[in-house]
Chains A and B, each alone.
Chain A
Amino acid sequence: MAQQTIAGKTVEVTDEGYLQDYSQWNEEIAKELAKEEGIELTEDHFKVLRFLREKYEEGANLTIRKVGKSGITDIKGFYNLFPGGPLKKSSKIAGIPKPTSCV
Chain B
Amino acid sequence: MTKLNTNDTICALATPPGSSAIAVLRVSGKDSFKVSGKIFTAKKKGFNIREAETHTLHYGSIGTKDQIIDDILLSIFRKPHSYTGEDAVEISCHGSAFIVQQILTLLLDAGCRMAQPGEFTLRAFLNGKLDLSQAEGVGDLIAANSKASHKLALDQMRGGFSKMISGLREQLMQFASLIELELDFSEEDVEFADRNALKKLLEEIRSEVQQLHDSFAEGNVMKSGVPVAIIGKPNVGKSTLLNAILNEERAIVSDIPGTTRDAIEDTIVINGLAFRFIDTAGLRETGDRIETLGIERTYEKIRQARIILYLFDITSTDCMEVKESLEEFKRQLGEEGMKDKHFILIANKIDRLVKIPRHFRNMVEFECIFVSAKRKENISMITESLVKAISMDQAEEGVIVSNARHHEALSAVLEALNDIDEGFKKDIPSDLIAIDIRKALYHLGEITGEISNDDLLGNIFSRFCIGK
Q: A and B from one assembly?
A: no
Point out residues on B near A: beta carbons under 8 Å.
Answer: none
